[in-house]
Amino acid sequence: MGAEMRGSILHVDGDLTIAVATARRHAFAAALADPGFGGLDLSGVTALDGAGLQLLMLAARHARRVGIMLMATPPSRAVRESLAVARLDADLQPLPRQGGACDPEGGRA
Protein backbone atom coordinates (compact mmCIF):
# COMPACT_ATOMS: atom_id res chain seq x y z
CA MET A 1 0.00 0.00 0.00
CA GLY A 2 1.64 3.25 -0.98
CA ALA A 3 3.01 5.24 -3.83
CA GLU A 4 6.18 4.58 -5.74
CA MET A 5 7.80 5.50 -8.99
CA ARG A 6 8.21 2.64 -11.40
CA GLY A 7 10.03 4.03 -14.39
CA SER A 8 8.42 7.34 -15.19
CA ILE A 9 5.02 6.39 -13.77
CA LEU A 10 3.86 7.04 -10.23
CA HIS A 11 1.93 4.02 -9.01
CA VAL A 12 -0.51 4.62 -6.18
CA ASP A 13 -2.11 1.75 -4.31
CA GLY A 14 -4.60 1.60 -1.48
CA ASP A 15 -6.52 4.63 -0.27
CA LEU A 16 -5.81 8.10 -1.58
CA THR A 17 -7.49 9.95 1.24
CA ILE A 18 -6.94 12.44 4.04
CA ALA A 19 -5.45 9.66 6.19
CA VAL A 20 -2.42 9.36 3.92
CA ALA A 21 -2.52 12.80 2.32
CA THR A 22 0.74 14.03 3.80
CA ALA A 23 2.69 10.98 2.69
CA ARG A 24 1.10 10.99 -0.75
CA ARG A 25 1.79 14.69 -1.12
CA HIS A 26 5.49 13.94 -0.79
CA ALA A 27 5.28 11.19 -3.38
CA PHE A 28 3.35 13.45 -5.79
CA ALA A 29 5.71 16.38 -5.22
CA ALA A 30 8.72 14.21 -5.96
CA ALA A 31 7.07 12.77 -9.05
CA LEU A 32 6.02 16.16 -10.44
CA ALA A 33 9.49 17.56 -9.85
CA ASP A 34 10.93 14.76 -11.97
CA PRO A 35 11.31 16.07 -15.52
CA GLY A 36 10.71 12.58 -16.83
CA PHE A 37 7.38 12.19 -15.02
CA GLY A 38 5.10 10.26 -17.34
CA GLY A 39 1.78 10.07 -15.52
CA LEU A 40 -0.13 8.20 -12.85
CA ASP A 41 -1.22 4.64 -12.43
CA LEU A 42 -4.23 4.72 -10.15
CA SER A 43 -5.52 1.29 -11.02
CA GLY A 44 -4.82 0.11 -7.49
CA VAL A 45 -6.51 2.96 -5.62
CA THR A 46 -9.28 1.74 -3.36
CA ALA A 47 -10.74 5.06 -2.21
CA LEU A 48 -10.52 8.69 -3.24
CA ASP A 49 -11.84 11.55 -1.14
CA GLY A 50 -11.58 15.34 -1.36
CA ALA A 51 -8.01 15.40 -0.08
CA GLY A 52 -6.96 12.85 -2.70
CA LEU A 53 -8.91 14.70 -5.36
CA GLN A 54 -6.90 17.84 -4.60
CA LEU A 55 -3.68 16.01 -5.24
CA LEU A 56 -5.03 14.75 -8.55
CA MET A 57 -6.11 18.28 -9.51
CA LEU A 58 -2.59 19.51 -8.76
CA ALA A 59 -1.12 16.71 -10.82
CA ALA A 60 -3.56 17.56 -13.61
CA ARG A 61 -2.52 21.20 -13.47
CA HIS A 62 1.06 20.05 -13.87
CA ALA A 63 0.19 17.62 -16.66
CA ARG A 64 -1.60 20.36 -18.58
CA ARG A 65 1.36 22.65 -18.13
CA VAL A 66 3.90 20.19 -19.46
CA GLY A 67 1.55 18.61 -21.96
CA ILE A 68 1.32 15.01 -20.86
CA MET A 69 -1.65 12.73 -20.30
CA LEU A 70 -2.15 12.42 -16.58
CA MET A 71 -3.54 8.91 -16.48
CA ALA A 72 -1.02 6.40 -17.78
CA THR A 73 -3.52 3.59 -17.27
CA PRO A 74 -7.27 3.54 -16.68
CA PRO A 75 -7.85 4.40 -13.04
CA SER A 76 -9.65 2.13 -10.64
CA ARG A 77 -13.39 2.13 -10.27
CA ALA A 78 -13.19 4.02 -6.97
CA VAL A 79 -11.25 6.81 -8.67
CA ARG A 80 -13.59 6.92 -11.66
CA GLU A 81 -16.63 7.16 -9.43
CA SER A 82 -15.24 9.98 -7.33
CA LEU A 83 -14.16 11.89 -10.43
CA ALA A 84 -17.60 11.44 -11.88
CA VAL A 85 -19.18 12.89 -8.75
CA ALA A 86 -16.90 15.93 -9.01
CA ARG A 87 -17.67 16.10 -12.74
CA LEU A 88 -13.99 15.82 -13.55
CA ASP A 89 -13.75 13.20 -16.22
CA ALA A 90 -11.46 10.23 -16.07
CA ASP A 91 -8.24 11.82 -17.24
CA LEU A 92 -8.89 15.04 -15.37
CA GLN A 93 -8.64 16.98 -18.57
CA PRO A 94 -12.27 17.80 -18.90
CA LEU A 95 -13.87 18.21 -22.26
CA PRO A 96 -15.55 21.55 -22.68
CA ARG A 97 -19.18 20.69 -22.39
CA GLN A 98 -22.00 22.07 -24.40
CA GLY A 99 -22.73 25.67 -23.60
CA GLY A 100 -19.27 26.21 -22.26
CA ALA A 101 -20.51 27.27 -18.88
CA CYS A 102 -19.91 23.85 -17.48
CA ASP A 103 -16.35 23.83 -18.65
CA PRO A 104 -14.53 23.61 -15.33
CA GLU A 105 -12.00 26.16 -16.50
CA GLY A 106 -14.68 28.38 -17.95
CA GLY A 107 -14.23 32.02 -17.16
CA ARG A 108 -11.13 31.46 -15.17
CA ALA A 109 -8.63 30.94 -17.91
Partner 1 sequence: MSTLQAAMRERMVQTFLAEARDLLRDLDDGLRQMRAGDHGRDVVARLFRAAHSIKGSGGMFGLAPLVGFTHVVENLLDRVRAGTLAPTEGLVVDLQAACDHIADLVEVLVADRGALDPALADRDASLREALARYDAAPGAGRAPVAEAPARTMPATGNGAMHPCDCWHISVRLGADVHRYGINPLSFIRDLESLGEITCLLTLADAMPDIGEMDPEACYLGFEIDLRADVDKRRIAEVFDFVQDCSELRILPPRSRVADFVELIRELPEPDARLGELLVLAGTLTREELDAGLATQHAEAVSTGAPPPLGEVLVEQQVIAPEVVQAGLDKQAQVRATGAAPGADAAFIRVRADQLDALINRVGELVIAGAGAQLLADCSGQAALREAQAQVAELVEDIRERALRLRMVPIGETFARFHRVVRDIERDLGKGIDLEIEGGDTELDKSVVDRLADPLVHLVRNAADHGLETTAARLAAGKPARGRIRLSASHEGGQVLIEISDDGRGLDRDRILAKGIERGVVQAGAVLTDAEVFALIFEAGFSTAAEVTDLSGRGVGMDVVRRNIAGMRGTIELDSRAGEGTTVRIRLPLTLAIIDGFLIGVGNAVFVLPLERVVECIELPSALREGQGYLDLRGHALPLLPLREQLQVGGTKRSRRQSVVVVDCDGYRVGLVVDALLGEFQTVIKPLGPLFAHLKGISGSTILGSGEVALILDVNELAVAAGRCDSRSFSDRQPGTPVASASSMVS
User: Which residues of this chain interact with partner 1, rule CB under 8 A?
Assistant: 17-18, 21-22, 24-25, 28-29, 32, 49-51, 53-55, 57-58, 61-62, 64, 67, 82, 85-88, 93, 95-109
**Full DSSP string of the chain:** --EEEETTEEEEEEEESGGGHHHHHHHHHHHHHSTT--EEEEEEEEEE-HHHHHHHHHHHHHHHHHT--SBSSPPPHHHHHHHHHTT--TTS-PPPPTTSTT-TTTT--
Q: How far is the CB of 43 from partner 1 (least distance, A)?
A: 20
Specify the residue, 36 or 107, whose C-beta has the smaller distance to partner 1.
107
Q: How far is the CB of 44 from partner 1 (least distance, A)?
A: 20
Task: Specify the length of the chain in residues.
Answer: 109
Q: How far is the CB of 87 from partner 1 (least distance, A)?
A: 5
Complete edge-to-edge strand list for the sheet that includes strand 9-16: 3-6, 9-16, 39-48
